[in-house]
Structure 1
Amino acid sequence: MTGQLIVGLDVSSRARAEEIVAALGDAVDFYKIGYQCFYGADGYALGKALIAAGKKVFFDLKLLDIDNTVEKGVAAFAETGAAMLTVHAYPKTMRAAAKAAAGSGLCVLGVTVLTSMDDADVKEAGYERDAAGLVALRAQQARDAGIGGIVSSPHEAEMVRTIIGPKMAIVTPGIRPAGSAAGDQKRIMGPAEALAAGATHLVVARPIIEAADPAAAARAILAEMNSGTRFA
């Protein structure tokens, strides 16, 4: 269960990121490095150091570019030994990423609709579908592209699982344990509920890294994850 919890190192200082990792100790073995950490805290070097220390790393960079650039970028991340990497869930991008990751241990994830977006945001962005409909489309395209999984809100996890089948990963941000504020997230769910809906990995940042005792916060979330029926 520990490996299903991914802690987001959403900080701008490498020293602070290393403090969080040290505070979490053996409670967590999987870390997400997104824009803030990657660009503000030398996240590429930090990620490689974590991998060398036996931790798993998820580079959440949502790559999107011409096919050749995506392919070469994904290949470079595959060489680091990273466990996961995100790309935007556009068909050509996912196909290029799948080609680059083939034969490596890197799980490429297609980002469907951000958990900070709702139907109104999707409409404003120019899509005729609602959020769930767009997630469903992207999930089907991710399956057909042959990548390792998708990122979606836990609210769509059950639907997505019926589309992509039992083997692909479903990584869900927007996880809020009991007593946590929603913040800027709009499509949120508790840890046990998300796993029961079909999620394979849960991403949690603020409820853990901003806690007075990050390890205790992580263990409390793991306890919540264990309290429900897990997707198998």
Structure 2
Amino acid sequence: MTAGALFLAVFLACVVEAVEATTIVLAAGIARDWRSALQGVVGGLVVLAAIIAGLGPAVSAIPLGGLRLVVGAILLIFGLQWLRKAILRASGYKALHDEDLIFRTEVAAARAAERQSRRGVSDWYAFTLSFKGVLLEGLEVAFIALTFGSNQHDIPLASIAAAAAVLVVAVAGVAVRGPLARVPENTLKFIVGVMLTGFGMFWGAEGAQAHWPGSDAALLVLVPGIAGLALGLVAALRRRRRPEPALSASVLARERP
């Protein structure tokens, strides 16, 4: 994989996670208390940094063959899950991911919660909501960066891509002070699902000592092939959902005994 492909894959995957975390923090700050929400953000980042500090060396110490097999399997699982949901959303079998609706729901829940002060935090609910959002979504960002970076022996570039994604989304969130509803998240999840599935298959096979024709160039066939298959499934499912055309009155009259 080239440096550009690595950066793009990590950046797009991390944008999706950053949008969800930013939506949660904005809801906590707008509906409750900005100071407590930001304290939750800081707390989540501190815990996340400690986890990354311990996890990073451990991932890097795994032999390359074993690392690619494990990472390939995990990415394939994540990729197929994202791709399955994206196909169902695109074909109409599952509701589209509506960041604006999620934001309004989070705000309503935050406003309804009881206000409590604990351990120097004026609003414990806002703190907890932001802390959990940053920590959970941040762990996924860290996992994506570490696995992609370790497999390609370029953790610094993967980290820069992840940090750039988080920074871009955070700045956009602060600028609009609302949900990032204009981000085409459903399209992003479809693209990322295709990419994770392709990389998962590629690295998993390499970890199992298989050899792809053309080495890394095989990704140029594998990823578009998966995308084509996914789009074909979307088209087939859309046709399956089309209602049967209503029979005209004349046809019904002819069919009556």
TM superposition score category, shorter chain reference: under 0.3
Which structure has the higher relative contact order (CA within 8 Å, separation 6+)? 2
Larger radius of gyration: 2
As a proportion of its length, which structure holds more helix? 2
As a proportion of its length, which structure holds more strand? 1
